[in-house]
């Protein structure tokens, strides 16, 4: 989804108020202008948005590309970069925010902002290297620090919530970077671009039927497909490999 080129006093891209609980996912928010605050997203009055794999860039506002007032927000795999605003994120009036595995510059916690959680392990603050921001192409350039830098287990329950990604982990931002190497992703036995239980089923069926050798299933790289590859594939899916 793309939300772009809107103009308003507050929340030109998205506005949340009065106890709203939206999930904003896989969305590019760009080119929006708020004369007061929240050029990308404005959240107020006890709203609690969940924001996942979203890119907020090139928006303009007096305060905050993402502005929270008396509200909470949870961010995962988000890029907030290069907005025409004094700050990328601004919290006000006992707002709370949790930020995980995201690339954000210029955060301000102000005005009795409450509690903020900035995970220094998963978060970064470096140029995401968009392909061509001049022409509004905010996909990731090869070599971007946001590639494979996100998290697949969004709710922390030990299972992948995002399974369709290229590489060792999902990317930050709205657009997943795909390369030719993903066509032969080790463990992607059914070649659907992700590694999950369907690959286990396909690999087991291949071994039981003595099917054609597929290098994507040779997890231990011994030149054959056997039960050890099944074990290694299961470990990858469960996060142990």
Instruction: For the chain, give the number of residues.
Output: 241
Q: How many helices (H) and strands (E) are present in the chain, helices listed first?
A: 2, 18
Instruction: Give CA–CA dist 100/135, Å, rounded.
Output: 29
Q: What is the pLDDT of residue 241?
A: 46
Q: What is the pLDDT of residue 57?
A: 95
> Where in the chain are the domains?
2-178, 184-237
Q: What is the pLDDT of residue 60?
A: 95
CATH of domain 184-237: 1.10.1330.10
- Continuous H helices in the chain: 197-208, 227-237
Q: What is the pLDDT of residue 134?
A: 64
Q: What is the pLDDT of residue 116?
A: 55
**Per-10-residue mean pLDDT, the chain, length 241:** 92 89 94 93 90 96 92 94 91 87 81 56 90 81 92 86 83 86 71 84 92 83 87 82 46
Angle at 54 between CA 114 and CA 3, to 5 degrees: 110
């Amino acid at each position: 989804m793309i939300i772009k080129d809107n103009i308003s006093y507050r929340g030109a891209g998205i506005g949340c108020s009065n106890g709203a609980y939206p999930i904003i996912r896989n969305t590019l928010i760009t080119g929006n202008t708020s004369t007061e605050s929240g050029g990308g997203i404005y959240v107020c009055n006890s709203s609690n948005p969940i924001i996942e794999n979203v890119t907020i860039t090139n928006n303009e506002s007096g305060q905050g590309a993402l502005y929270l007032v008396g509200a909470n927000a949870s961010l995962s795999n988000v890029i907030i970069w290069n907005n025409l605003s004094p700050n990328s994120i601004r919290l006000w009036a006992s707002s709370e925010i949790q930020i995980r595995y995201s690339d954000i510059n210029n955060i301000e916690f102000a005005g009795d902002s409450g509690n903020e959680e900035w995970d220094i392990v998963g978060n970064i603050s470096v140029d995401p290297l968009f392909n061509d921001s001049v022409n509004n192409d905010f996909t990731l350039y090869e070599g971007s620090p946001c590639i494979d830098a996100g998290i697949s287990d969004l709710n922390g329950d030990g299972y992948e919530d995002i399974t369709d990604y290229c590489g060792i982990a999902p990317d930050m931002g709205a657009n997943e970077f795909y390369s030719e190497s993903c066509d032969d992703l080790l463990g992607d036995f059914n070649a659907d671009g992700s590694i999950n239980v369907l690959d286990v089923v396909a690999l087991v069926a291949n071994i039981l039927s003595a099917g054609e050798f597929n290098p994507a299933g040779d997890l231990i790289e011994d030149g054959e497909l056997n039960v050890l590859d099944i074990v290694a594939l299961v470990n990858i899916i469960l996060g142990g490999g």
